[in-house]
A and B are shown apart, each in its own frame.
Chain A
Amino acid sequence: MALSKLSSSSSLSTNILKPLTNSFFLHRPISTDTTPLTIETSVPFTSHQCEAPSRSVETTPKELLSFFRQMATMRRMEIAADSLYKAKLVRGFCHLYDGQEAVAIGMEAGITKKDSIITAYRDHCTFLGRGGTLLEVFSELMGRKDGCSHGKGGSMHFYKKDSGFYGGHGIVGAQIPLGCGLAFAQKYSKDETVTFALYGDGAANQGQLFEALNIAALWDLPAILVCENNHYGMGTAEWRAAKSPSYYKRGDYVPGLKVDGMDALAVKQACKFAKEHALKNGPMILEMDTYRYHGHSMSDPGSTYRTRDEISGVRQERDPIERIRKLILAHDLATEKELKDIEKEVRKEVDDAIAKAKESPMPEPSELFTNVYVKGYGVEVFGADRKEVRSALP
């Protein structure tokens, strides 16, 4: 890796050699520089029943650039999904994550693919973070064969079990006990891994959360409950739904941490910290202070219960991608043009994936009856007209 050696030598030679390295890597001008860099989070962590981790986060130029690229991909993907929905290529419900990318990205940086993640229906970016591809996302959204659920799940039901992503759930709050169950199984199997169960501020008041958390604490399960607090449960602001919107404290005896969810490095630090804690001491709650630019779903304009000033204010002050861009530029890890080029590439990747997804065929009619069971014993199954369409479950 002679080139990486070259680029990691003194800054003077780095500057001289940058154009050289670029010309060798025409497709991807991503720095492979792994010299450690320490960056302070935007705000300190607030803790409940535990010691907060340090504000100083270790990272590398490579990591920062990958944050930028991945978040840009997620942002572009969600905006493209918006257009596809309006063009009626995506049906039903479509809940977009733009604004919240730092949570997905920061979490991945702090954990491994052996750890598990489970979330609700705002799952496109979480799926991508777990290693899903754009083609799988767009195909699934359009109900095609190449979708991650082969077109049978839809927007709210993405899964990727081989990299520890357990979905994709439509019923508010249900994913939390399920996540604690994953943690139970991890502990039972002595895997030394943890589960992150994501939920929103709307779900934070669900009884099943407290039931599952109680058991997780009782049994020392390696479960980390992550509240992605975007401050609105559909159209209801947090203060109208929760007596105490300090979600990181709601675990009572369970320790909690409040994190700036728009700061990918803070998220990374918090998740690393939480993983270490959970493996030793049982469950923990992380509250990510984040924001969604879109409404609750594509059927919600998102502006009847929030002001446009608020939305644009967050975009200007706290956008997660802009934060990383500023960091990269401030530390001279790439030029503005290089970052813009990355964004152009990302745009093309997304467009290509959409084009490919549009060509993916719809599932075969016989798929109607597959995967009802793992083992169907040859039981008869019927279509709408039981005398016309019938099959046997394998």
Chain B
Amino acid sequence: MVLLLAVNMVTRAGFSLKQLKMWGIIRQKVAAGGGSPVARIRPVVSNLRNYSSAVKQMMVREALNSALDEEMSADPKVFLMGEEVGEYQGAYKISKGLLEKYGPERVLDTPITEAGFTGIGVGAAYYGLKPVVEFMTFNFSMQAIDHIINSAAKSNYMSSGQISVPIVFRGPNGAAAGVGAQHSHCYAAWYASVPGLKVLSPYSSEDARGLLKAAIRDPDPVVFLENELLYGESFPVSAEVLDSSFCLPIGKAKIEREGKDVTITAFSKIVGLSLKAAEILAKEGISAEVINLRSIRPLDRSTINASVRKTNRLVTVEEGFPQHGVGAEICASVIEESFSYLDAPVERIAGADVPMPYAANLERMAVPQVEDIVRAAKRACYRSVPMAAAA
């Protein structure tokens, strides 16, 4: 009863229920039905999942911002460092408002010195803090890769469990639009090959929130690969997703679209393209199952294999370079574990095997397009034109 009055007063003072939840004043499981007095204030909240008209749209940028905010609020050991994260509000505005809210001790603007500040972040994690290190793009993480791999990934093992590294390295990964060869590299395969690291890559706002929160709470080093072109995209989010306790499991892929004829695996922006491809394929009578990997390491081999055992055909799609890529690992896994279920050769769609060109027409050829995915899926279903002859 007291809680009800307090909440009432506070909400009249202009604070939303959402804010109260975020600040941990009310830790309320939204799914809870009638029962508690708080839930009665906004009965629509518990039914949100059923009524699409009440579902909120959230930009990926907002999703990341709110996840950072909530985790920083929940745990004082969490801090953010990187270039322009503070006063500039974030190069891509992901950390907007955080400096104002948490102060310069917890939101730190660094000089342009990745090797230095990444090492400093890892050292802070050794000591027990929970840094979130932002790279303006993952291309710049190469300046710091020694610390990510040798200082962070391997420490727990080398010290036999004494030195754990609860750090998150995050930032945009892969191609943007017209940013040229040095700013378009995808690092998913690089980091995912390293034992000791966890590598996550969100697609939707739900992914962004749930995976970032999971990453920050995780006691191991996590490489969190975002995508600049997704920052401005909006996705529907349920009330469960908006809740401050929302978290997604690490190592579990999501079946974005169920299907029975061909399995398409993708992560990050490519999930969107794959869903579009699936729409096109559906019109041609091919039912594609689209798997959003979410987690590159650990890779959800069981979901992937279960899907291929159902559909018998596989198309892996990624933005990065093909050789030794994420798709190569998925293909190998499927061939190793589900060989007799395959009815067609595995197909790989990836970025072209060249440094990213700047010219718009060449760039378009260098990055997977919806047509490429459709074509490969058709080939896997033996429904396409003959293979193009080698040049």
Residue pair B391, A384 in contact (C-beta under 8 Å): no
Asked if A53 is at the interface of the complex by the 8 Å CB criterion, the answer is: no
Residues of B contacting A157 in the complex (Cβ-Cβ under 8 angstroms): 180-182, 358
The number of A-B residue pairs with CB atoms under 8 Å apart is: 171
Contact check: which of B181, B322, B358 meets A382 at CB < 8 Å? B322
Among B329-358, those with CB < 8 Å from A are 347-355, 357-358
Partner of B362, one of A152, A202, A242: A152
Known: A368-B357, A381-B353, A384-B366. A207 touches B180 (CB 8 A): no
- In contact, B362 and A92 (Cβ under 8 angstroms): no
Interfacial residues of chain B within 360-391, with CB under 8 A of chain A in the complex: 360-362, 365-369, 372, 375-376, 379, 387-388, 390-391
Contact of A235 among B88, B115, B369 (CB under 8 A): B88
Distance of A235 from chain B, by nearest CB (Å): 4
Q: How far is the CA of A227 from the CA of B177 in the complex (A)?
A: 30
What residues of chain B lie closer than 8 Å to A368, measured between beta carbons?
352, 354, 357, 362, 365-366
* Closest chain A residue, CB of each to CB of B347: A387
B83 within 8 Å of A (CB atoms): yes
Question: Would you give the 0/1 interface string for A158-175, flagging 1 where the beta carbon is closer than 8 Å to chain B?
Answer: 000000000001111100
Is the Cβ of A386 less than 8 Å from the Cβ of B322? yes
Contact of A305 among B88, B139, B182, B355 (CB under 8 A): B88
User: A12 to nearest B CB, angstroms?
Assistant: 57
Interface residues of B in 131-179 (CB under 8 A from A): 139-140, 142-143, 176-179
B residues less than 8 Å from A202 (CB atoms): 111-112
Closest-CB distance, A389 to chain B (whole angstroms): 7
The answer for the CA separation of A235 and B361 in the assembled complex, in Å, is 32
In contact, A384 and B182 (Cβ under 8 angstroms) = no
Given contacts A144-B359, A173-B112, A389-B388, contact A91 B177 (CB under 8 A): yes
Q: Which of B161-212 contact A (CB under 8 A)?
A: 176-183
Chain A's interface size range is: 35 or more
CB of A205 within 8 Å of the partner chain: yes
Within A296-312, which residues are at the interface with B (CB < 8 Å)? 304-305
Whether B302 is near chain A, meaning CB under 8 Å from some CB there, is no
B388 adjacent to A143 (CB under 8 Å): no
Residues of A within 8 A of B179 (CB): 92-93, 154
A240, CB-defined interface residue at 8 Å: yes
User: Which residues of chain B have C-beta atoms less than 8 A from A52's C-beta?
Assistant: none
Q: Judging by beta carbons under 8 Å apart, are A387 and B362 in contact? A: no
The docked-state distance in angstroms from the alpha carbon of A165 to that of B246 is 53
* B349 & A203 in contact (Cβ 8 Å cutoff): no
Which A residues between 349 and 394 are near B, CB-CB below 8 angstroms?
A: 362-363, 365, 367-369, 372, 380-392
Contact of B358 among A153, A365, A372, A387 (CB under 8 A): A153
CB-CB under 8 A for A384 and B352, given A170-B183, A368-B365, A390-B388: yes
B354 touching A156, Cβ below 8 Å:
no
Contact B350 A384 (CB under 8 A): yes
Q: Hey, which chain B residues are within 8 Å of A365, CB to CB?
A: 361-362, 365
Provide the bound-state CA to CA distance between A369 and B366, in Å. 10
B116: interface (CB < 8 Å): yes
The answer on a CB contact under 8 Å between B358 and A385 is no
Determine the chain B residues whose CB is within 8 A of the CB of A156 once the complex forms.
Answer: 180, 182-183
Interface centre among B178, B359, B365, B369 (most CB of A within 10 A): B359
Contact partners of A207 in chain B: CB under 8 A: 113, 115-116
Interface of chain A, main secondary structure = loop
> Which residues of A (163-222) have their CB < 8 Å from a CB of B?
169-173, 202-203, 205-207
Contact B109 A388 (CB under 8 A): no
Within 8 Å of chain B (Cβ to Cβ): is A233? yes
What is the minimal beta-carbon distance from A371 to any residue of chain B, in angstroms? 9
The answer to whether A171 and B143 touch across the interface, beta carbons within 8 angstroms, is yes
Nearest chain B CB to A300 CB, angstrom units:
9
Given contacts A93-B183, A235-B88, A362-B360, contact A391 B349 (CB under 8 A): no
Most A C-beta atoms less than 10 A away, residue of B91, B347, B352:
B352
Residue contact B388 to A151, C-beta cutoff 8 Å: no
B233 contacts chain A at the CB level, 8 A cutoff: no
Chain B nearest Cβ from A225, distance in angstroms: 16
Would you call B87 an interface residue if the criterion is a C-beta within 8 Å of the partner chain's C-beta atoms?
yes
In chain A, what residue has the closest Cβ to B179?
A92
Give the distance to chain B from A215, nearest Cβ to Cβ, in Å: 17
Known: A385-B349, A391-B391. A241 touches B112 (CB 8 A): yes
A385 & B375 in contact (Cβ 8 Å cutoff): yes
Interface residues of A in 271-286 (CB under 8 A from B): none
Task: Kindly list chain B residues whose C-beta atoms are within 8 Å of the C-beta of A93.
Answer: 178-180, 183
Question: Which residues of A are found within 8 Å of B360, using beta-carbon distances?
Answer: 91, 143, 362
- Are B358 and A154 neighbours in the complex by a CB distance under 8 Å? yes
Please state if A91 and B111 are interface contacts (CB–CB under 8 Å): no
State the CA gap A388–B350 with chains docked (Å). Answer: 12
In whole angstroms, what is the CA distance A170 to B355 when docked?
A: 14
Question: CA–CA, A365 to B357, complex, Å?
Answer: 11
> Does B71 sit at the interface, judged by CB under 8 A?
no
The answer on a CB contact under 8 Å between A388 and B375 is: yes
- In the complex, which residues of chain A have a beta carbon less than 8 angstroms from the beta carbon of B353? 372, 381-383
Question: Does B84 touch A at the CB level, under 8 Å?
Answer: yes
Instruction: Name the contact of A151 in the complex, choosing from B140, B181, B359 (C-beta under 8 A).
Output: B359
Q: Report the minimum CB–CB distance from B350 to chain A (whole Å).
A: 7
Report how far A363 CA is from B363 CA in the complex, Å.
Answer: 11
| Assembled-state Cα–Cα distance A66/B372 (Å) | 53
Contacts of A83 in B (CB 8 A): none
Task: Give me the interface of B with A, judged by CB distance under 8 Å.
Answer: 83-84, 87-88, 91, 109, 111-113, 115-116, 139-140, 142-143, 176-183, 322, 347-355, 357-362, 365-369, 372, 375-376, 379, 387-388, 390-391
19 A–B contacts from the bound complex (CB under 8 Å): A93-B178, A143-B360, A151-B359, A152-B358, A152-B362, A153-B181, A153-B358, A170-B182, A234-B88, A234-B91, A235-B84, A236-B88, A241-B112, A304-B88, A365-B365, A367-B362, A368-B357, A385-B372, A390-B390
Other than the known A144-B359, A372-B355, A389-B352, what 12 A-B pairs have Cβ atoms closer than 8 Å?
A170-B139, A170-B180, A205-B116, A207-B116, A241-B112, A365-B362, A365-B365, A381-B354, A382-B350, A383-B366, A385-B372, A388-B372
Closest 10 CB pairs of A and B: A91-B178, A92-B178, A154-B358, A143-B359, A170-B182, A151-B359, A235-B88, A241-B111, A154-B180, A92-B179
